[in-house]
Structure 1
Amino acid sequence: MRRHRFRPAPLALAAVLAFSVPLAVHAQPAPAGQAAVQLSIASQPLAQALNDLARQTRLELIVQPSLVAGRTAPAVAGLLTPREALDRLLAGSGLVAVIEGTVVTVQRIPVPAAGTAPAGSTTLSEVRVTAAGERSGLTENTGSYTTRQAGTATPLGLSLRETPQSVSVITRQRMEDQGLTQLPEVVAQTPGLVLRQGGNQGSDSSPIYSRGFTVNTYMVDGVRQTDSNYSSIFQTNDMAMFDRVEVVRGASGLMNGVGTPGAAINLIRKRPTADFQGHVRAEAGSWNHARAEVDLSSPLNASGSVRGRLVAAAQDNDSYIDRLKERKKLLYGVVEADLTPDTQLFAGASVQHHDATGHARGGLPAFYADGTRTAWARSASAAPPWAYSQRHYTSVFAALEHRVSDDWKLKATATRTTSFYDELIGYASGGAPVRETGAGVTIWAGRWTAKPRQDSLDLQTTGRFDLLGRKHDIAFGAQLSRTSYRAPNYTNWTHAGWSSAIANIYTWDGTSPAEPNNPSIGRATSDERLNSAYATLRLKPTDALALLAGARVVDWSRYQTSTRYSTGATTITDRGETGEVIPYLGAVYDIDRNWSAYASYTSIFTPQNLRLANGDYMDPQTGDSFELGIKGAFLNDRLNASAAVYKARQDNLGIAIPNVFAPDGSQAYQAVSGTSTRGFEMEVSGEVQPGWQVSAGFSRNMTRDRLRARLNTDVPQNTLKLFTSYRIAGIGKGLTVGGGVRWQNAIYLDNQGAARTRFTQPAYAVVDLMARYAVTDTVAVTANIGNLLDKVYYNTVGNSYYGTPRHLRVGLDVRF
């Protein structure tokens, strides 16, 4: 058993995984030397309450994280011995604390077996227990900016230090501290990710980049979301239903079958808790922002073998951009049931709506007709009132997990997700205004709508086995996914009898020209299938060395038809790739107790739904990805650090051609082969000192074509992201203050405007602040200020779409 001098930190991250102590049914008399202490502990998650008690009494603490996860403690205050305080904190929890000198062990109250001492006995005979606690990645109620386990890079449930790839986690505490309620807000705070936002939230003109490549891999609880040619629909996710967001940078073919060397974003749903807990939040802010959240979790039967959770959220807001209004809704319900001691069912459903009016894919033109730069107000909108975006999602899922033995586990997950999108496009980014008259600007107008349905089945087996006297890990499984839809085709960008011209952009209020007549001119169908099988092996030839090897075999196909009503002609596209093998190799070497070095390799294979200017689909992306790095874990995994260098080679990389569209109206791309990207990343996340959480990351990336010319000049090469918070327990019931900065280097595009000049956005930094004050043990007031210094900058280059000005949000949190 390894004991640590306890430091005040989130308890779930301060726990050890093995212990050997006497068990006791009832409280023991306070040992000598345990004198009464003046205590002040607020009602809060049990993990944090025990953390506060340990800090105030200077005790060492040993506990399994799973025992306290999801539990809430009452407020405890006054002159009390540690024994008395522990009894109050653990009352009704089914847990007991054993004190041996300055060491406290929290464990379950044992149930006497038949023939043992009667229930009235105060103690049991000493029992030595050695248990390997199961690591959990859940971050709720930990108060932490890091996690103990991540499952997006491999299916083995490794810690961040054990994973031979760069992994970032945005935890529940981080989202609550910064008020991150939408996925793009999370992306903006995640190290190594860049949101090149060229339009309003959810626009297909706002791709996410990592390591120089667009991110098109989105997952929910480890199940890949198949996009059917429109991956940006997954950006409009509300965060209220998720425990955390895991981001693996680099290729993720082992977990997804297909993937670019950019990143994979995995959204992990909240789970029901062992004890009742409730959370209600109301929030108001700049530009008529109003949001409400309700989150209730409770056992549903007396024994607690069935547990449920319900999350609801609603948000209405205007914007700093004229005419843009948004309405968002979320409802999530889930049930978790212990069918047997070894079998658990996790099933639920969610509904999300994201609706916007006055919605634009871009900003106003960046250049006058004479080639000089325009200078619009940040509030100036490129959207007419008739432009809108509607995105609705419904997901039903069920997961059955069975523990065959202490070492082997089976899991099956079935999901049906129906996405609906209807977007009437209108944005005044075309043309160039005449400086003297305001004439010359045109509206791009079009429409696309569909209702894709995805059915997925994921089967997984994980286990451990003995070989040559050592334990090793293995996982294997299969994934089957099918996405289909039927959708109308429209006349996009040009419309008979309709003029796109705006008479005077200086006086334009969006009402003219009116919405064009845009009838359906045909229909399209799509059937996309992605089936794969994989195996992963983690060998431990020595205590310090772990070798990982795995592969996934992929079959992918997509069958599409497009029919013109006017001629009845049908165009058929039947594409497929069979038996594609994606290998994965990795090694992790423990240098000492805190530091490890690692290396990993995987290949790249991604079928593409991007179109060339002539309408043809691009060939699959292929290539290789290499990564070397070092990782550190400190304070019993409460603080994680990493640094990595990487290199990727890729063929058929899609590069967007500005203002060029394929015949179907979608963005046109050019295929570039022989591209390479290389760079390095550094990150630190977790608890630096008791009550002090930090997340900091720096990334540098260079992407070039085969002639060594730089690609993606409109994506920053260097980014720095920092956020930190500190909890001051001595002020009232607790005050938490925090702040952060996001910095990026200059970006540019050449050959812009009539003068074919360079459009540059210089390097800039955005500063954010937060505060949370506990008014009582259950009520807190929060405040978040974004862009504190009111920095004026463009989100991207190519048009005049500005970043969000300074804004304020205040909230009231009630927990019970």
Structure 2
Amino acid sequence: MTKSGPFTGMQGRMLIAALLGCSSVIAVSATGAWAQQTDDGVIILEPIVLRADGDQPGSIVAMQSAGAGKIQTPFLDSAASVSVITEAEIKQRGAETVEEVLSYTAGVVTDQYGADDRFDYFKVRGFYPNAYRDGLSLGNPFGSVREEAYAFDRVEVLKGANSTAFGVSDPGGSVNYSTKLPKTERFGEAYVTGGSNDRAEAGLDVGDNLTKDDTLSYRLTAKVRDGKSEYEASRNDEKFLMGGLTWRPTDATKLSVVVDVLDRDAVPGSGGFPIGTDFDRSEFFGEPDFNYRGTDRTTASVMFDHDFGGGLSVGTNLRYSDTASDFGYAYVSGNSGVGTIANRAFFTSDNKGHQLIVDARLQYDTYFADVDSRSLLGIEYSKSSQSETLGFGAAPDIDWVNPVYTGAPDSVPTITDTFTRQRGRAIYAQQDLTFSGRYIASVGLRHDWLDSTETNHLSGVIGSSDISETTGRIGLTYKATDEVSVYGSFAQSVAPAELGLEPERGEQYELGVKYAPLANRAIFSAAIYDLTKDNITRTDPATNLQSTIGEVRVRGLDLEAKAEVTPNMTLTAAYSYMDSQIVRNGTAGNEGNSLALVPEHSGSVWMHYLVDGNQTRGDMTFGLGARYVGGYEYDDANTASTGGHVMLDASYAYQVNEQTQLSVHVSNLTDMKYSAYGGLYADFYNAGREVSATLRRNW
């Protein structure tokens, strides 16, 4: 409970706070009974503000997150930059993919490969992050399965090195998806969507109690889509089904089991366009009969929590997944130099994998003297196997003025055929101490053991690698007031390199300020950082062998705000500055260059406004957003680049009745076209304007 005077000059304070920066919080105010007696005996009650620690359904502002560790931490208390994208924000913007969910987040750049839909493409502070689901590693999204965003009720982006909490990762950050779980009340939604590129989609998310005492609940989430991409010879089909049960035998115990199946039948992308040309996105220079991207994954997750009382609790998360994915296509591999003839190549990929990962942690919260203490001790075990076969070979040339397709090849030469087994073990600890309610110290330590064995079926060579690495993190926070905190932190990261080489290591220093006004639901944050990654595998020019001699550095600034400005208006704003540099690279010509696909400036703003209904019509909401990404280099040699661009998005929703809503979402409103990636062998355009209309019913 916090004392505060009357709230005056709110707009002025919000303007000042916007200049400082931002992140995610929920604040609620109430009047209490802090009394002061005057000389004439009159008792004056001053306002007392209560801040809610939990998230509020339907809000874009999240007050707490897992922060830099695996302990839920209030926004002001965490010595880290954390952005939370809630389910409410995802629905406001009509975000369909993970890239769309993340596209309005400070420090995050998406869509570096344009309309290429093989993977989830995004970078955090200049690096590809590792992704996690419910705190358990999914690996690097680049090269992995595209996640289904409808399966999650929030996404947390932790910026900066953080191997101490989650294990192997790059220093830019990490992204954690939270699975939708059963609730203790009846709820549901069903929707149908139609839109651009022949899109037809339907979804369902329902749940209820199976027992009268709320001890057993279920949730069923499903989605089916039939559609295309921007060119005729394409598919964008999907079937997704997820079912969950939660058992609560007591108020202190909860067990959830979730099983989901993802089945996608899509295409990898257009295959690119000849460099220096300007085509309509509907043109296609691949092969219609050899253009596929399939995903078939089954996942089972178990989450268990028990509170022993007295501050002692235990939690365990387990996930098993069985995945098969493949893609094959013909792509433009360069200009032949003869008229309008483009060279092409075939590429194929076939992957099968299994993963088991489990995390168990013990937490103890206590209080002594004037110190609040939270201690966490955990262990993690993982085991996985993966087979990967890659094919590559020349494809017939094509005339881009008069394309003639030649059909699927009889075969594509195999260039890689490997089978990899990996076993990971880790032990970690985190200690948070709060002194006098104002000074917060957080220390984390983790040790990872990672054993890998790779069998090369082409050469018959079996290679192995054993990694044993310790990483640490320390953060200090000072809560100057009940609305403002400042912090500093140092964190390390570690990621495996090629077999037989030392792992790649990173570290980051960060200073930040956070503001969470008690007068309204809003959060603001600003952070400056300096991160480096060394031991990067590069070709040593002296030996012409792979060696850990690379080093890169990124220095930057992140500003972010999420605010419920009025009961009818919400605002999300973000800005990032990144100064990236290749410090050592083996190739002397690259040293001093900027990192590939890392813009110096990026920013976004999204405003959502509600017009209350009356007796003749229902509520209407209007949303408008702008995303700016500055120019960036296509490669580390900095030989080609793209310019900056602004993309506009919009939404409109009409409340037909209390339970039914009709909404329209438009991405890339002006149909802006630019080359998101290219300059080497082909250009890859960004996705064009997409319009969708959704009829949704909730209960």
User: Normalising by structure 2, what TM-score?
Assistant: 0.87
Equivalent residue in structure 2 for 1:711, among 594, 605, 616: 594
Amino acid at match of 2:460: T
Q: 1:221 to 1:594 in 2, by over 3 A?
A: same
Aligned residues of 1:630 and 1:642 also touching (Cα < 8 A): yes
Contact 1:419 1:451 in 2 (8 A): yes
The alpha-carbon distance between structure 1 residues 166 and 14, as it changes in their structure 2 partners (threshold 3 A), is: closer
* Mapping 1:664-679, distance limit 5 Å: 673-679=550-556
Determine if the alignment matches structure 1 residue 571 to structure 2 residue 571.
no
CA distance in 1, matches of 2:413, 2:678: 33
Amino acid at match of 2:334: G
Question: 1:552 aligns to what?
Answer: 446
Cα distance change on mapping 1:416 and 1:563 into 2, 3 Å: same
**How far apart are residue 16 of structure 1 and its match?**
7.1
The answer on 1:470 being equivalent to 2:371 is: yes
- Aligned with 1:365 (options 274, 298, 304): 274
Per-residue CA shift, 1:759-791, capped at 9, x if unaligned?
A: 442211011111111011111110112222222
Deviation at 1:453, TM superposition (A): 0.8
Supply the AA of the counterpart residue of 1:677.
Answer: V
What residue number does 1:388 align with? 292
Q: Distance in 2 between matches of 1:672 and 1:210?
A: 23
Tell me what 2:187 maps to.
277
Whole-Å separation in 2 of the counterparts to 1:240 and 1:17: 35
Paired with 1:669 and 1:355, the residues of 2 have a C-alpha distance of: 37
User: Match of 1:461?
Assistant: 362
Alpha-carbon distance in 1 for matches of 2:344, 2:546:
22
Does the CA contact (< 8 Å) of 1:292 and 1:314 recur in 2?
Answer: yes
Q: Which range moved further: 729-738 or 524-533?
A: 729-738
Tell me the distance in 2 between the aligned counterparts of 1:680 and 1:751.
22
Check 1:431–1:671 CA distance in 2 against 1; reply closer, same or farther (3 A cut): farther
Displacement of 1:601: 0.5
| Partner deviation per Cα, 1:188-216 (whole Å, 9 max, x = no partner) | 23221112532645435x7422212222x
Q: 1:808 aligns with which of 685, 691, 699?
A: 691
The whole-number CA distance in structure 2 between the counterparts of 1:814 and 1:484 is 42
Q: Aligned match of 1:775 in 656, 676, 682?
A: 656
Q: Is the 8 A contact 1:605 1:623 kept in 2?
A: yes
Whether 2:590 is the aligned partner of 1:687: answer: no
Percent of residue pairs bearing the same amino acid type? 22
Report the CA distance shift for 1:271/1:503 in structure 2 as closer, same or farther (over 3 A). Answer: closer
Which residue of 2 is the match for residue 294 of structure 1? 204
Deviation at 1:538, TM superposition (A): 0.8
Counterpart CA distance in 2 for 1:61 and 1:811 is: 43
Query: Does the 8 Å CA contact 1:13/1:636 hold for their aligned counterparts?
Result: no
* Matching of residues 7-46 of structure 1 within 5 Å: 13-15=26-28
- The alpha-carbon distance between structure 1 residues 629 and 521, as it changes in their structure 2 partners (threshold 3 A), is closer
CA distance in 1 between counterparts of 2:143 and 2:104 reads: 18
Offset, 1:378: 2.3
**Higher CA-based Rg:** 1
Taking a change above 3 Å as real, the CA distance of residues 749 and 181 of structure 1, as seen in their structure-2 partners, is: closer
TM-score, normalised to structure 1, is 0.75
Give the distance between the partners of 2:285 and 2:547, measured in 1 at CA: 27
Q: 2:400, 2:537 → 1: CA distance? A: 34
For 1:121, the equivalent position in structure 2 comes to none
SS at 1:315 equivalent: strand
Paired residues in the alignment total 654
- Structure 1 residue matching 2:298: 3-state secondary structure: strand
Q: How far did 1:673 drift? A: 2.4
2:161–2:506 Cα contact (<8 Å) kept: no
TM-superposition CA deviations, 1:140-172 (whole Å, max 9, x none)? xx2221212111521120022211111111111
Which segment drifts farther, 771-780 or 515-524? 515-524
1:30-69 alignment, distance < 5 Å: none
Equivalent residue, structure 2, for 1:233: 144
Change (3 A) 1:180 1:617: farther
Aligned residue type for 1:388: Y
Provide the rounded CA distance (Å) in 1 between the counterparts of 2:416 and 2:164.
39
For residues 483 and 49 of structure 2, what CA distance do their matches in structure 1 show? 20
Pair 17,271 (structure 1): closer, same or farther in 2 beyond 3 Å: farther
Partner of 1:251: 161
Q: CA RMSD in A?
A: 3.0
- What is the Cα deviation at residue 638 of structure 1? 2.2
Asked if 1:623 corresponds to 2:522, the answer is: no
1:734 CA displacement: 1.5
Give the conservation status (yes or no) of the 8 Å contact 1:212–1:702: no
Matched residues in 1 for 2:434 and 2:555: separation?
A: 30
Q: SS of the residue aligned with 2:402?
A: coil
Which position in structure 1 is the counterpart of 2:322? 418
One-letter amino acid matched to 1:478: I
Equivalent in the alignment of 1:720: 603
Q: Secondary structure at the match of 1:451?
A: strand
Q: Greater share of strand residues, 1 or 2? A: 2
**1:27-82 deviations in whole A, cap 9, x for unaligned?**
xxxxxxxxxxxxxxxxxxxxxxxxxxxxxxxxx999997xxxxxxxxxxxxxxxxx
Give yes or no for the alignment of 1:484 onto 2:385. yes
Counterpart of 1:403, as a letter, is D
Alignment partner, residue 504 of structure 1: 399
CA drift at 1:670: 9.1
Q: Any stretches of 5+ residues in structure 2 without a counterpart?
A: 11-24, 34-46, 540-544, 585-590
Is it true that 1:145 corresponds to 2:60 in the alignment?
Answer: yes
Cα pair distance change 1:262/1:407, threshold 3 Å: same
In the alignment, what sits opposite 1:51? none
Specify the alignment match of 2:588 in structure 1. none
Cα distance in 1 for partners of 2:347, 2:694 equals: 39
Q: Measure the CA separation in 2 of the matches of 1:479 and 1:548.
A: 21
- How far apart, CA to CA, are the structure 1 residues paired with 2:428 and 2:63? 25
Which deviates more, 741-750 or 706-715? Answer: 706-715
Deviation string, structure 1 residues 709-730 (Cα, Å, up to 9, x no partner):
1222432111001112112224
In 2, are the aligned partners of 1:153 and 1:163 still within 8 Å (CA)?
Answer: yes
CA positional deviation for 1:620: 1.7
When residues 593 and 148 of structure 1 are mapped into structure 2, their CA distance, relative to the original with a 3 A threshold, is same
Higher relative contact order (CA 8 A, sep 6+): 2
Deviation for aligned residue 1:420: 1.2
How far did 1:402 drift?
0.7
What letter is aligned with 2:137? R
Structure 1 residues 308 and 716, CA gap change in structure 2 (3 angstroms): same
Q: Distance between the aligned counterparts of 1:805 and 1:361, measured in 2?
A: 13
Q: Is the 1:282–1:293 contact (alpha carbons within 8 Å) kept by the matching residues of 2?
A: yes
Q: CA deviation at 1:750?
A: 7.7
Aligned positions of 1:42-441 closer than 5 A = 135-137=53-55, 142-198=57-113, 200-203=115-118, 207-215=121-129, 217-226=130-139, 231-234=142-145, 236-357=146-267, 359-360=268-269, 362-366=271-275, 373-385=276-288, 386-427=290-331, 429-434=332-337, 436=339, 438-439=340-341, 441=342
